[in-house]
Amino acid sequence: MDEEANPVKEFLFAHIEGSQTIPRLIAERKFDEVIKEVTSNCYGKIVSMGKKDESIGVLAIGLLHYLLTNALITSQRKVEHDGVEIDIVVPDLKTLEKDPKKTLLICIPKSSDTTTINQKIAQMEKIQPEKENIWVVLSENIQVGKKSFVLSEENNTFSRIIFDIAQFANVGGSSKFKILRI
Protein backbone atom coordinates (compact mmCIF):
# COMPACT_ATOMS: atom_id res chain seq x y z
CA MET A 1 0.00 0.00 0.00
CA ASP A 2 1.36 3.37 -0.99
CA GLU A 3 1.70 5.64 2.06
CA GLU A 4 1.25 8.87 0.09
CA ALA A 5 -2.18 8.35 -1.48
CA ASN A 6 -3.61 5.71 0.78
CA PRO A 7 -7.37 5.09 0.77
CA VAL A 8 -7.26 3.86 4.38
CA LYS A 9 -5.63 7.09 5.59
CA GLU A 10 -7.95 9.18 3.45
CA PHE A 11 -11.00 7.39 4.87
CA LEU A 12 -9.69 7.68 8.45
CA PHE A 13 -9.01 11.40 8.23
CA ALA A 14 -12.26 12.09 6.36
CA HIS A 15 -14.07 10.36 9.24
CA ILE A 16 -12.14 12.34 11.86
CA GLU A 17 -12.79 15.66 10.08
CA GLY A 18 -16.50 14.88 9.67
CA SER A 19 -17.01 13.63 13.22
CA GLN A 20 -19.09 15.60 15.68
CA THR A 21 -17.75 13.68 18.69
CA ILE A 22 -13.98 13.34 18.07
CA PRO A 23 -13.10 17.04 18.64
CA ARG A 24 -14.98 16.95 21.96
CA LEU A 25 -13.28 13.68 22.99
CA ILE A 26 -9.85 15.12 22.08
CA ALA A 27 -10.57 18.27 24.12
CA GLU A 28 -11.58 16.07 27.06
CA ARG A 29 -8.41 13.96 26.62
CA LYS A 30 -10.50 10.80 26.13
CA PHE A 31 -8.13 9.24 23.62
CA ASP A 32 -9.35 5.72 24.38
CA GLU A 33 -12.86 6.84 23.44
CA VAL A 34 -11.55 8.34 20.18
CA ILE A 35 -10.00 4.96 19.30
CA LYS A 36 -13.23 3.12 20.19
CA GLU A 37 -15.27 5.61 18.13
CA VAL A 38 -13.00 5.24 15.09
CA THR A 39 -12.89 1.46 15.45
CA SER A 40 -16.66 1.09 15.70
CA ASN A 41 -17.31 3.42 12.74
CA CYS A 42 -14.38 2.66 10.41
CA TYR A 43 -12.96 -0.80 11.10
CA GLY A 44 -15.27 -2.83 8.83
CA LYS A 45 -14.90 -0.45 5.88
CA ILE A 46 -11.12 -0.18 6.30
CA VAL A 47 -10.63 -3.98 6.49
CA SER A 48 -12.60 -4.32 3.23
CA MET A 49 -10.27 -1.85 1.43
CA GLY A 50 -7.38 -4.26 0.96
CA LYS A 51 -5.31 -6.85 2.75
CA LYS A 52 -6.60 -6.94 6.33
CA ASP A 53 -3.24 -6.77 8.13
CA GLU A 54 -1.92 -3.99 5.89
CA SER A 55 -5.12 -1.96 6.18
CA ILE A 56 -5.16 -2.29 9.97
CA GLY A 57 -1.47 -1.36 10.11
CA VAL A 58 -2.10 1.83 8.11
CA LEU A 59 -5.09 2.61 10.37
CA ALA A 60 -2.96 2.05 13.49
CA ILE A 61 -0.11 4.28 12.27
CA GLY A 62 -2.44 7.07 11.11
CA LEU A 63 -4.57 7.03 14.24
CA LEU A 64 -1.59 6.75 16.57
CA HIS A 65 0.22 9.64 14.89
CA TYR A 66 -2.94 11.79 15.07
CA LEU A 67 -3.49 11.00 18.76
CA LEU A 68 0.16 11.47 19.77
CA THR A 69 0.07 14.90 18.14
CA ASN A 70 -3.15 15.82 19.95
CA ALA A 71 -1.83 14.45 23.26
CA LEU A 72 1.29 16.64 22.84
CA ILE A 73 3.52 13.56 23.10
CA THR A 74 6.72 14.07 21.12
CA SER A 75 7.17 11.34 18.51
CA GLN A 76 8.56 10.63 15.08
CA ARG A 77 6.81 8.47 12.50
CA LYS A 78 8.31 6.41 9.69
CA VAL A 79 11.99 7.07 10.39
CA GLU A 80 15.09 4.99 9.74
CA HIS A 81 17.94 4.33 12.16
CA ASP A 82 21.00 2.22 11.27
CA GLY A 83 19.12 0.75 8.31
CA VAL A 84 16.07 -0.22 10.39
CA GLU A 85 12.71 1.36 9.56
CA ILE A 86 10.83 2.39 12.70
CA ASP A 87 7.07 2.89 12.55
CA ILE A 88 6.91 5.23 15.57
CA VAL A 89 9.60 6.34 18.02
CA VAL A 90 8.81 8.22 21.25
CA PRO A 91 10.23 10.80 21.69
CA ASP A 92 12.83 10.80 18.86
CA LEU A 93 15.93 9.23 17.29
CA LYS A 94 18.27 11.62 19.10
CA THR A 95 17.01 10.31 22.46
CA LEU A 96 17.35 6.72 21.22
CA GLU A 97 21.03 7.37 20.52
CA LYS A 98 21.67 9.17 23.83
CA ASP A 99 19.40 7.31 26.25
CA PRO A 100 17.59 4.18 25.02
CA LYS A 101 15.92 3.76 28.44
CA LYS A 102 13.88 6.89 27.70
CA THR A 103 12.97 5.81 24.17
CA LEU A 104 10.02 3.73 23.06
CA LEU A 105 9.86 1.99 19.68
CA ILE A 106 6.42 1.02 18.41
CA CYS A 107 6.44 -1.70 15.79
CA ILE A 108 3.40 -2.12 13.52
CA PRO A 109 4.28 -5.14 11.35
CA LYS A 110 1.18 -5.05 9.06
CA SER A 111 1.17 -8.84 9.19
CA SER A 112 -0.26 -11.66 11.28
CA ASP A 113 2.53 -14.01 10.20
CA THR A 114 4.54 -14.84 13.35
CA THR A 115 7.82 -15.20 11.42
CA THR A 116 7.42 -11.76 9.81
CA ILE A 117 6.50 -10.18 13.17
CA ASN A 118 9.46 -11.79 14.94
CA GLN A 119 11.83 -10.64 12.16
CA LYS A 120 10.63 -7.07 12.59
CA ILE A 121 11.04 -7.30 16.37
CA ALA A 122 14.57 -8.71 15.90
CA GLN A 123 15.43 -5.68 13.73
CA MET A 124 14.14 -3.34 16.46
CA GLU A 125 16.23 -5.16 19.06
CA LYS A 126 19.38 -4.39 17.05
CA ILE A 127 18.87 -0.65 17.62
CA GLN A 128 17.01 -0.64 20.98
CA PRO A 129 19.01 -2.43 23.71
CA GLU A 130 16.14 -1.91 26.19
CA LYS A 131 14.03 -4.86 25.00
CA GLU A 132 10.99 -3.88 27.12
CA ASN A 133 10.88 -0.55 25.28
CA ILE A 134 9.75 -2.23 22.07
CA TRP A 135 5.97 -2.46 21.81
CA VAL A 136 3.99 -4.11 19.02
CA VAL A 137 0.60 -3.28 17.46
CA LEU A 138 -1.10 -6.29 15.88
CA SER A 139 -4.30 -7.04 13.98
CA GLU A 140 -4.95 -10.12 16.10
CA ASN A 141 -3.89 -11.48 19.46
CA ILE A 142 -0.57 -13.23 18.79
CA GLN A 143 1.97 -13.96 21.51
CA VAL A 144 5.19 -12.17 20.53
CA GLY A 145 7.03 -11.85 23.84
CA LYS A 146 6.61 -8.05 23.85
CA LYS A 147 4.06 -5.65 25.23
CA SER A 148 1.46 -5.70 22.50
CA PHE A 149 -1.79 -4.01 21.57
CA VAL A 150 -4.46 -5.49 19.32
CA LEU A 151 -6.44 -3.24 16.98
CA SER A 152 -9.64 -5.14 16.26
CA GLU A 153 -13.40 -4.89 16.71
CA GLU A 154 -13.39 -7.22 19.69
CA ASN A 155 -10.73 -7.34 22.42
CA ASN A 156 -9.40 -3.99 21.22
CA THR A 157 -6.48 -3.40 23.60
CA PHE A 158 -5.19 -0.68 21.23
CA SER A 159 -7.58 1.78 22.90
CA ARG A 160 -5.28 2.09 25.94
CA ILE A 161 -2.04 2.67 23.98
CA ILE A 162 -1.97 6.49 24.27
CA PHE A 163 -2.27 6.33 28.06
CA ASP A 164 0.48 3.70 28.25
CA ILE A 165 2.72 5.82 26.01
CA ALA A 166 2.00 8.94 28.09
CA GLN A 167 2.80 7.04 31.25
CA PHE A 168 6.07 5.82 29.70
CA ALA A 169 6.96 9.37 28.60
CA ASN A 170 6.06 10.87 31.99
CA VAL A 171 7.94 8.23 34.00
CA GLY A 172 10.91 8.39 31.63
CA GLY A 173 11.10 12.12 32.15
CA SER A 174 11.14 12.83 28.43
CA SER A 175 7.79 14.58 28.43
CA LYS A 176 7.90 18.31 29.01
CA PHE A 177 4.11 18.38 29.27
CA LYS A 178 2.65 16.16 31.95
CA ILE A 179 -0.85 16.86 30.77
CA LEU A 180 -2.37 13.42 31.06
CA ARG A 181 -3.44 12.45 34.53
CA ILE A 182 -2.80 8.72 34.75
Report the pLDDT averaged over residues 62-91. Answer: 94
Mean pLDDT, range 70-92, rounded to an integer? 94
What pLDDT shows up at residue 179? 46
- What is the model's pLDDT at position 154? 83
- Segment 88-144, tens digit of pLDDT: 999 999 999 999 999 999 999 999 999 999 999 999 999 999 999 999 999 999 999
pLDDT interval class at 2 (50, 70, 90)? very low
| Residues 67 and 16: beta-carbon distance below 8 Å | no
Do the Cβ atoms of 156 and 35 come closer than 8 Å? yes
Q: What is the pLDDT of residue 169?
A: 86
Residue 153 pLDDT class (50, 70, 90 cuts): confident
pTM, two decimals, is 0.89
Residue 7, pLDDT score: 93
Q: Predicted confidence band at 170 (pLDDT cuts at 50, 70, 90)?
A: confident
pLDDT for position 171: 66
User: What pLDDT does residue 76 have?
Assistant: 95
Position 4 scores a pLDDT of 59
> How would DSSP label each residue in the chain?
--STT-HHHHHHHHHHHH-SSHHHHHHTT-HHHHHHHHHHHHHHHHHTTS-HHHHHHHHHHHHHHHHHHHTT---EEEEEETTEEEEEEES-HHHHHH-GGG-EEEE--S---HHHHHHHHHHHHHH-S-GGGEEEEESS----SSEEEE-SSSS-GGGGHHHHHHHHHHHHT--S---S--
Which residues, listed in sequence order, are joined to residue 77 by a DSSP beta bridge?
Answer: 88
pLDDT at 181: 44
Domain ranges of the chain: 7-172
Domain 7-172 has CATH 3.40.91.80: yes
**99-129 b/e with 16+ CB inside 10 Å = b?**
eeebbbbbbbbbbeeeeebeebbebbeebbe
